[in-house]
Structure 1
Amino acid sequence: MNKSILLRGILFLLLAMQYSLGYSQNPLVTHMFTADPTARVFNGKLYVFPSSDTYPPNGREAEFPRFCMPGYHAFSLENGSTWKDHGWVLKENDVPWGEKDTYAMWAPDCIEKDGKYYYYYPAKPKNDRAFRRIGVGVSDKPTGPFKWEKSFIKDVTGIDPGLLLDDDNKAYLFFGGGHELYAAPLKDNMKEVAAKPILIDGLPAGYKEGSFPFKKDGIYYLTFAHVFPDEGYTIGYATSDKPMGPYTYQGKIMDNIYNGTNHHSVVKYNDQWILFYHSWDISGYNKLRSMRADYMTFKKDGTIKKVKPTLRGIGTPQVNDTIQVDRCNEISGAKTAFVGGNEPNGWMVCDAKMMSSVRFDRVKFDGAKKIQARIASGQRNGSFEIRLNNPKGKLIAEFPINYTGGWNTWETIETELKEPITGTHNLVVVFKSDWGNTKSVNLNWLLLK
């Protein structure tokens, strides 16, 4: 890893210490690197259990040609569009049976059964030749603390545990990596397999990992990361009428993204199906990933419509949620770029010309009285308006454009809404300046209060 990447990483980590919340426009969080997101709904609340990427320790770069992964955080969706970081769930050196300082903590999963939460994870075992073993811990809460089993699960060798709890309360563990994926029923204690794992039949040839099962309308879906020689990592899926197969391959859920890995999960939340996955928006480097999410839909025959990655992502921002307007649904006459100055890692709307606009869908206005904007400007000419639904829609707020000290010098400004607004609407920002100006103001985010 070259020095510029390392220095950028140090700066990133210093900034990250100041921030503990992420925003559910893609990527979901920006204060740390997150990958392999497993999403679950517990008691009506949406949680995500990702792995994490980091920079190799100084002097050990050659040991990590692929990934450097120190452990796991847990996140929950708070309010309408804000992710709360609950901190460390497990660090690699706290694995009772694992080697130390290996940075080998790949994709986890967490599942609830009979009021207890079981967290499954792979790690590099000590005094064992296996590439990875899978361990488990139990807690009364989805975010822990967990009591970790002193040994890994016997007869299970591989990565990427994926759990299925069927309608009859029987649980199944899926895992693998390489050209084969496996499944095994679990005992009622959720800590041992009830039978030796079997090879999952019916899957296409090629490298596979990241198995994640779910059930819908009596059909078992097994989703997995699948590598095509001419394309790289994709997200594929197969279906069956039995939890352990045989399965029939149905195609891809998502195409390859920028020639990197793509590990995922699928969850139903508030009557909408969501695909969680990852990319590398923050780092620009596919070994330092950031988790994302987009809505997923099914055809009438039960097959899955291919998901196209978006920047808008999921969520319905509301009062006290930050609206990352650069993660917009539509932009006209303006551009987006990586934010400058001392702002947290992310993006901004920039080069906004006269009458350019940005539309951000699905904003809940109930209870809002004011609106804030985070801006930077190198001039003091013009304004930007907040309108409903389209660039000519109802005008609800207006901000003057003032000189902040430069295009990377940021200020938060606030104004009152012109009238109470109820319900969920599309929010549109319209920029006004002199005709011929190539930019008016840089806009980082908005926030209803």
Structure 2
Amino acid sequence: MLSKPLPRLLPSLALLLPLALALATSCQSNTPETDTAASGSQPAGAAPDSAGTKFLSKPLIKDIYTADPSAHVFDGKIYIYPSHDIEAGMPENDNGDHFAMRDYHVLSMDSIGGKVTDHGVALDIKDVAWAGRQMWAPDAAFKNDTYYLYFPAKDKQDVFRIGVATSTSPTGPFKAQPQPIEGSMSIDPAIFTDTNGGSYLYVGGIWGGQLQRWRTGQYDASNPKEQEPADNEVAPGPRVARMSSDMLRFAEPMKEVKILDQDGKPLLAGDKSRRFFEGAWVHKHNGTYYLSYSTGDTHLLVYATSTSPYGPFTYQGIIMNPVQGWTTHHSIIEQQGKWYIFYHDTELSGKTWLRNIKVAELPRNADGSFGTITP
């Protein structure tokens, strides 16, 4: 969920941004649950699209800015765990400091296209003892009659860690554990529970997500903020660890997930249209594990497949072409025999750090492969 300054956008993508941008004020909200229709009012200061851009879907809510939607079906109902974007008044930089989010809201809907309910603040950074700043993209799971919220935040030393909070309700409020998960790192936690009941946590994001600083297994503070391996070196992959039975700890050290091309060779760092950048999501279909993720600076959502939750995963293709805006982050669910992708863009604000979540049907072929959609 990292952003880069607008001048470094690919030229073709930059042309997609609205021609007229309005100043956006803070949209921090601590309101209790509210019902929001897709045609509801926009956040204060939001600019309607003025470039004639046509969008595949409309924002799910418009009274706060949301991004990085992790969607799950719990007891037949859809719950969405997004980031909550705010106008922090900070200049954009390569490290993503202007993404200064401070809390999480939980959204719900009975079905795709139905009314969306915002259940208010589920967890605030002031209630996370170890956290310093920047509550980025979360995810959630249900197990042991408990709902678990996994979230990244920078600790007091400005190192991203993964925390976990619990609740008896899918909408919270959530109570955070006093310390981050031991051995955790980086950003974008994605929790996957297999058909045999085992649960796995995937994490990782390069650049401001700091994954490149963990190449030796220890955090390297001296590594330049954007330093990746050389183009001819193997690209860093996300990390994965099986969770303990109580879902609060790792049952094993984190392992790197390898992503290969069709010839079985690891993707290289220079292969920027296929290599992992951030935003991993894992689901299982007909015995096959699907790893989907963002390519970051080439703005694609792509996927790879494996016979094991640990990988290696073999690259298969593009799920979604670039959205309006710099970042792209998603989740995939099945409901009533159809597949859907939740994602975000910047239709409401035209600003890369003030995003809005959306959902669209995701075409799936009989062999399990995905078609490519243009948002």
- TM-score range relative to shorter protein: 0.7 to 0.9
Partner of 2:250: 193
Partner of 2:187: 159
Alpha-carbon offset, residue 222 of structure 1: 0.8
Residues 154-178 of structure 1 deviation map (CA, whole Å, 9 limit, x = unaligned): 1111100001101111100000111
Residues 23-67 of structure 1 deviation map (CA, whole Å, 9 limit, x = unaligned): 35611100010000000000000110100111115xx55786542
Tell me: CA distance 1:295–1:6, structure 2 relative to 1, closer, same or farther (3 Å).
Answer: closer
Equivalent position SS for 1:9: coil
Residues 140-164 of structure 1 deviation map (CA, whole Å, 9 limit, x = unaligned): 1111122211000011111000011
Amino acid at match of 1:198: K
1:57-68 counterparts in 2 under 5 A?
A: 57=89, 60-61=90-91, 66-68=98-100
Amino acid at match of 1:144: G
Match of 1:273 among 318, 339, 347: 339
Partners of 2:363 and 2:102 in 1: CA distance: 34
Partner of 1:106: 136
Partners of 1:129 and 1:287 in 2: CA distance: 20
Partners of 1:281 and 1:50 in 2: CA distance: 17
Is contact 1:54-1:69 (8 Å) kept? yes
Does residue 85 in structure 1 map to residue 118 in structure 2? yes
Tell me: CA distance 1:280–1:19, structure 2 relative to 1, closer, same or farther (3 Å).
Answer: farther
Partners of 2:163 and 2:32 in 1: CA distance: 32
Partners of 1:141 and 1:17 in 2: CA distance: 18
Alpha-carbon offset, residue 6 of structure 1: 8.3
Partners of 2:104 and 2:33 in 1: CA distance: 17
Alpha-carbon offset, residue 68 of structure 1: 2.7
Alpha-carbon offset, residue 227 of structure 1: 3.1
Of structures 1 and 2, the one with the larger relative CO (CA 8 A, separation 6+) is 2
Tell me: CA distance 1:165–1:62, structure 2 relative to 1, closer, same or farther (3 Å).
Answer: closer
Amino acid at match of 1:192: R
Unaligned runs of 5+ in 1: 310-449
Equivalent position SS for 2:25: helix
Partner of 1:124: 154
Residues 214-249 of structure 1 deviation map (CA, whole Å, 9 limit, x = unaligned): 111111011111135xxx221111110111111101
1:312-327 counterparts in 2 under 5 A?
A: none
Partners of 1:71 and 1:13 in 2: CA distance: 9
Supply the RMSD in Å over aligned alpha carbons.
2.6
Partner of 2:321: 255
Partner of 1:49: 81
Match of 1:22 among 36, 42, 63: 36
Alpha-carbon offset, residue 71 of structure 1: 1.6
Equivalent position SS for 2:188: strand
Residues 316-361 of structure 1 deviation map (CA, whole Å, 9 limit, x = unaligned): xxxxxxxxxxxxxxxxxxxxxxxxxxxxxxxxxxxxxxxxxxxxxx
Does residue 9 in structure 1 map to residue 25 in structure 2? yes
Partners of 1:304 and 1:186 in 2: CA distance: 29
Partners of 2:122 and 2:253 in 1: CA distance: 29
Match of 1:234 among 295, 300, 322: 300
What's the TM-score, normalizing by structure 1?
Answer: 0.61
Residues 295-335 of structure 1 deviation map (CA, whole Å, 9 limit, x = unaligned): 012112211111232xxxxxxxxxxxxxxxxxxxxxxxxxx
Tell me: CA distance 1:82–1:213, structure 2 relative to 1, closer, same or farther (3 Å).
Answer: same
Is contact 1:122-1:161 (8 Å) kept? yes
Residues 57-87 of structure 1 deviation map (CA, whole Å, 9 limit, x = unaligned): 5xx5578654231221000114762100000
Alpha-carbon offset, residue 93 of structure 1: 1.9
Tell me: CA distance 1:19–1:94, structure 2 relative to 1, closer, same or farther (3 Å).
Answer: closer
Amino acid at match of 2:120: G
Tell me: CA distance 1:166–1:207, structure 2 relative to 1, closer, same or farther (3 Å).
Answer: closer
Greater gyration radius: 1
State the identity as a percent.
34
Partners of 2:191 and 2:31 in 1: CA distance: 32
Amino acid at match of 1:221: Y
Is contact 1:36-1:264 (8 Å) kept? yes
Match of 1:220 among 274, 278, 289: 289
Partners of 1:18 and 1:248 in 2: CA distance: 44
Does residue 94 in structure 1 map to residue 94 in structure 2? no
Amino acid at match of 2:118: D
What's the TM-score, normalizing by structure 2?
Answer: 0.73
Equivalent position SS for 2:129: coil
Partner of 1:435: none
Unaligned runs of 5+ in 2: 6-19, 39-56, 207-235, 261-266, 269-274
Partners of 1:149 and 1:107 in 2: CA distance: 18
Match of 2:175 among 147, 158, 174: 147
Is contact 1:6-1:55 (8 Å) kept? no
Partners of 1:299 and 1:240 in 2: CA distance: 17
Partners of 2:128 and 2:22 in 1: CA distance: 28
Equivalent position SS for 1:88: strand
Tell me: CA distance 1:218–1:207, structure 2 relative to 1, closer, same or farther (3 Å).
Answer: closer
Partners of 2:328 and 2:114 in 1: CA distance: 23
Alpha-carbon offset, residue 19 of structure 1: 9.5
1:276-355 counterparts in 2 under 5 A?
A: 276-309=342-375
Is contact 2:127-2:176 (8 Å) kept? no
Partners of 1:62 and 1:233 in 2: CA distance: 18
Amino acid at match of 1:214: H
Partner of 2:239: 182
